[in-house]
């Protein structure tokens, strides 16, 4: 016999009791699947986390930097007209190699040649006049006073001519140094004013290479014994000294490398190479994390078991094998190779040397931290 159907609409209290019983049964049924640990019901693994670590040690690193410049005289002299005049002769032209004191060009002053011609005619007349007075004196027709007066007049004209010749010499323009002529602005017949620049002469004793480099690169260029210079013809050049000027930009400097006087001439391209080996403490960039201006690594703190210790580090130059460590770590320290952010301070770990464990495939790699080095595009390291 079927039981009578209960109408819950007529008895709400019975409806409430039946619904509560169903919820209780569902909760009891789910309890076996809600154990602690992972979703598969297994308990949490109490063992320390296995991580890949690296023991830091000093490494020999080959440093190589390259810059390109141009060989040229680092000092040039401008030749000016000493006074007003007209160009009479041009002896040296652009590209000519001249020696110190060699004539470059000659000027003529206003009415200079006319005055000299008048003095020359007067000198010839006085020479003839003196000869006549001497003949008269020998014949007894003139006394010693007339001969002496004629001789004095000749000496006065000769002194005036000599002074004029000295003035003419000032119109002869000579090279102040040995070098190459460039930038001539005059030709025969040109009128020039006092102080006008006529041409320039490169000082061959100041041949060198001019570079513009990042301020951080000066430490390499100061090591003259580590620099190798070759021009675009394959000739090796040697550096005598170097001078820096920081008037270009706060982050860049001009470097003038003066060459030894070895006959190097002309303007041509030069490659400057810095080559050296250094003993450096390096850390992989994958082991470094950055928080603003602070760089840090996850170092292994000794213990049983070992734990994670976050340590601030001071970094130097970047190299292909890692980043130079300037402070915060010492040889023999062990650091976690990958994803230092994934390991909080104090976590118990199982450090494994080398690549015993690999970084998760889905992880986001840290960007290389800032090393404080300016990038110029000129330097390169091997």
Same domain, yes or no: 283 and 349: yes
- Judge if 290 and 325 occupy the same domain: yes
Q: Do residues 100 and 195 share a domain?
A: yes
The answer on 87 and 143 residing in a single domain is no
Measured CA to CA, the distance from residue 181 to residue 175 in angstroms comes to: 9
* Cα–Cα distance for residue pair 216/368, rounded to 1 Å: 19
| H or E stretch covering 298 | strand 294-301
SS3 category, 367:
coil
Shared domain for 102 and 193, answered yes or no, is yes
Which of these, 381, 322, 367, 364, lies nearest to 56 by C-alpha position? 322
Strands of 184-234 (E only): list them. 191-192, 197-202, 207-214, 227-231
Residue 1 belongs to some domain of the structure: no
Sign of CA dihedral 21, 22, 23, 27: positive
Q: 150 and 229 share a domain?
A: no
CATH code of residue 300 = 2.40.420.20
Let me know whether 260 and 320 are in one domain: no
Identify whether residues 55 and 69 lie together within a single domain: no
Backbone φ and ψ for 25, nearest 5 degrees, come out as -60, -40
The structural domain count of the chain equals: 4
Could you tell me the CATH number of the domain that includes residue 178? 2.40.50.100
Statement to judge: residues 158 and 101 lie in one domain: no
Cα 64 from Cα 317, distance rounded (Å): 12
Give the structural domain span for 312.
49-64+279-353
The answer to whether residues 80 and 183 touch, using CB atoms and an 8 Å cutoff, is: no
Residue finishing a domain among 252, 272, 292? 272
- pTM attached to this predicted model: 0.51
How many CB atoms are closer than 10 A to CB 223? 12
**214 and 71 together in one domain:** yes
In degrees and rounded to multiples of 5, residue 153 shows phi and psi of -60, -40
Q: Render each residue's pLDDT in the chain as its tens digit; 382 residues.
A: 454 555 545 555 554 455 554 444 444 444 444 444 444 444 555 689 899 999 999 999 988 899 999 888 888 899 998 888 888 889 999 989 999 999 999 887 766 666 777 888 888 998 998 898 888 888 888 888 888 888 898 898 888 877 766 665 557 889 999 988 988 989 988 888 889 999 999 888 888 999 999 998 998 999 999 999 999 888 899 899 999 988 777 889 999 999 886 555 667 899 999 998 889 999 999 999 999 889 999 999 999 999 999 999 999 988 888 999 999 999 999 999 999 999 999 999 999 997 655 454 444 444 455 444 333 334 444 3
Q: Assess whether 116 and 138 both reside in one domain.
A: yes
DSSP 342: G
Q: Do 155 and 132 share a structural domain?
A: yes
Give the rounded distance of the alpha carbon of 147 from its chain centre.
Answer: 79
CB atoms under 10 Å from CB of 198, counted, come to 20
Query: Which of left, alpha, beta for 322 (phi over 0: left; psi -120 to 50: alpha)?
Result: left
């Amino acid at each position: 016999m079927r039981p009578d159907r209960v109408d819950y609409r007529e008895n709400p209290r019975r409806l409430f009791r039946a619904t509560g019983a169903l919820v209780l049964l569902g909760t009891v049924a789910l309890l076996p699947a809600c154990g602690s640990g992972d979703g598969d019901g297994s308990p949490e693994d109490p063992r320390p986390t296995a991580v890949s670590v690296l023991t830091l040690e000093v490494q020999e690193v080959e440093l190589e930097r390259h810059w390109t410049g141009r060989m040229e005289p680092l000092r040039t002299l401008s030749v000016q007209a000493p006074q007003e005049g007209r160009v009479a002769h041009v002896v040296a032209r652009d590209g000519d190699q001249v020696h110190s004191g060699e004539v470059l060009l000659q000027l003529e002053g206003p009415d200079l040649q006319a005055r000299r011609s008048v003095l020359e005619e007067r000198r010839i007349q006085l020479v003839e006049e003196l000869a006549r007075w001497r003949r008269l004196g020998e014949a007894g027709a003139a006394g010693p006073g007339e001969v002496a007066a004629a001789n004095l007049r000749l000496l006065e004209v000769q002194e005036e001519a000599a002074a004029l010749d000295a003035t003419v010499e000032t119109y002869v323009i000579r090279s102040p140094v040995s070098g190459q002529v460039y930038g001539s602005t005059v030709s025969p017949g040109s009128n020039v004013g006092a102080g006008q620049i006529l041409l320039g002469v490169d000082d061959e004793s100041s041949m060198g290479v001019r570079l513009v480099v990042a301020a951080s690169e000066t430490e390499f260029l100061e090591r003259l014994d580590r620099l190798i210079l070759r021009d675009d013809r394959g000739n090796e050049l040697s550096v005598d000294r170097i001078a820096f000027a920081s008037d270009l930009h706060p982050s860049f400097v001009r470097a003038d490398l003066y060459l030894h006087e070895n006959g190097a001439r002309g303007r041509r391209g030069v490659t400057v190479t810095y080559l050296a080996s250094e003993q450096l403490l390096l850390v992989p960039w994958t082991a470094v994390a950055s928080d603003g201006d602070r760089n840090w690594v996850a170092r292994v703190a000794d213990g049983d078991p070992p734990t994670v210790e976050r340590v601030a580090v001071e970094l130097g130059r970047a190299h292909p094998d890692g980043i130079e460590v300037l402070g915060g770590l010492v040889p023999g320290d062990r650091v976690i190779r990958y994803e230092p952010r994934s390991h909080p301070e104090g976590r118990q770990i199982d450090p494994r040397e080398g690549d015993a464990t690999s970084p998760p495939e889905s992880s986001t790699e840290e960007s290389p931290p800032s090393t404080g080095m300016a990038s110029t595009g000129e330097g390169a390291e091997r």
